[in-house]
Amino acid sequence: MNTVSSLRAQPDTGRRRQPSVKDIARLAGVSVATVSRALTRPELVGAEKLRAVQDAAMQLNYVAHGAGRALSSGRTRTIGAILPTLDHAIFANTAFALQKRLAQDSYLLLLSCNEFDSATERDTVRKLIERGVDGLVLLGREHEPDVLALLERLNIPYVLTWTFDSTSRRTCIGYDHRKAAMLVVEHLLGLGHRSFGAIFGPGESEWQRERLDLVQKEIKRGNGVLRADHIVTGKLSYDNGQRGIEHLMGSENPPTAIICGHDIIAAGALTACRRLGVPVPERVSITGFEDLEITEHLDPPLTTVHFPADELGRRAGDQILQMVTQSDLHRPIEVAIDLRIRGTTGPAPET
């Protein structure tokens, strides 16, 4: 009978030797080839044999030798990802969905944050390459010039997320930023608003900077007005939303519609309006971007652009896994977005 105790201590050291795939095969009653497939490509093994191998591996406390397996297969089964931060739910949701998708194919996610700093990202990319990642998931289209060149020179697959360009030769997965700005601005113009304010995150953030630029263009295209002194930028924070409202509503001829670059900013803006006695949406309409879970529970609920962060993470996982085995596969993928109209927007007040 094959038992765990059949692994004898080595006589020269007195230490139990590391179990091997042969030991698992004996204990599970299957071939070494079946064990190898079960550990690396479990989807190719029948349920009964897979369970037997997994049970045997657990009994033996078997841990695959990553370096050895990488040498034999040419892969480490790890994917690196660099996001700006995990302080905001939208990025955390993307990372979680990405990790779950990679785990389905027995890949490990190595996650790091660059805090919107391109030099930090460049250094992190090099460190992840040194650790042998099979591919990388990055955020946005703007990166240090040598970062993408290095990945392409080394033939390391990468996917750019939270950005979409139908003409790009690089694989990108995201939404149409112009459409997001258009959805918000056209909704507010349709309600009769012509005087706008904006509260956005830092200029160091590619997506906040681009989002603000596109909002300005859409307002101008619709014959609305967004004065320079009605644009507030700062941290991607609740406090920035509060300070922004204090500035905008305290200005001469304050705007009747305020577009916030993120739901967190919009939540702070709503709090400040309540504190200052500014009724929403009777006096001013407020919108956000992202559609975080909390937005439906604000008072009033927030009108915002819905971005499916979990779908984006899942599809990024699909794409990078395909590229690891099909390196010539490059394509832009657009994720659908829509405007969730709720209680923070209403007709422009009569002047």
Whether residues 18 and 122 share a domain: the answer is no
pLDDT at 68: 46
User: What residues make up the domain containing 37?
Assistant: 4-64
Please count the structural domains in the chain: 3
- Is residue 160 domain-shared with residue 210, that is, in the same domain? no
- Whether residue 304 sits in one domain with residue 196: yes
**pLDDT tens, position by position, for the chain (351 residues)?**
455 444 444 444 444 567 888 888 999 999 988 988 888 778 788 889 889 988 888 888 776 654 444 444 457 899 999 998 887 788 888 999 999 999 999 999 999 998 888 889 989 998 998 888 999 999 988 888 889 888 988 889 999 998 888 888 888 999 999 999 999 999 999 999 999 999 999 988 888 999 999 999 999 999 999 999 999 999 989 999 999 999 999 999 999 999 999 999 999 999 999 999 999 999 999 999 999 989 999 999 999 999 999 999 999 999 999 999 776 567 789 999 999 999 999 999 986
Residues 90 and 162 in one domain: yes
Look at residue 278 and tell me if it is in a domain. Answer: yes
**Together in a domain, 209 and 302:** yes
Q: Are 177 and 207 in contact (CB under 8 A)?
A: yes
Q: Does one domain contain both 245 and 191?
A: yes
Q: Which residue's entry shows tokens 């040419």?
A: 74
Q: Are residues 93 and 24 in the same domain?
A: no
- Do 239 and 138 reside in the same domain of the chain? no
Residues 210 and 276 in one domain: yes
In a domain, 351, yes or no: no
In a shared domain, residues 89 and 105: yes
DSSP string, 117-170: -HHHHHHHHHHHHHTT-SEEEEESS---HHHHHHHHHTT--EEEES---TT-SS
Q: Is residue 318 part of a domain?
A: yes
Q: Which amino acid is at 257?
A: A
Residue 69 forms part of a structural domain? no
Q: Where are the beta strands (DSSP E) in the chain?
A: 78-83, 108-113, 135-139, 158-161, 172-174, 196-200, 231-233, 257-260, 285-290, 303-306, 333-334, 338-340
Residue 10 is predicted with a pLDDT of 42
Report the candidate in 335, 314, 186 with the shortest Cα–Cα distance to residue 259.
Answer: 186
Decide if 326 is inside a domain.
Answer: yes
d(CA 53, CA 30): 8
Shared-domain flag, residues 130 and 272: no
Confirm whether 330 is domain-assigned. Answer: yes
CA angle 135, 139, 143 (to 5 degrees): 90
Whole-angstrom distance, CA of residue 290 vs CA of residue 87: 14
212 and 100 co-located in one domain: no
Give the CATH number, domain containing residue 26.
Answer: 1.10.260
Instruction: Report pLDDT for 273.
Output: 97
* Domain at 127, CATH number: 3.40.50.2300
Contact 129, 153 (CB under 8 A): no
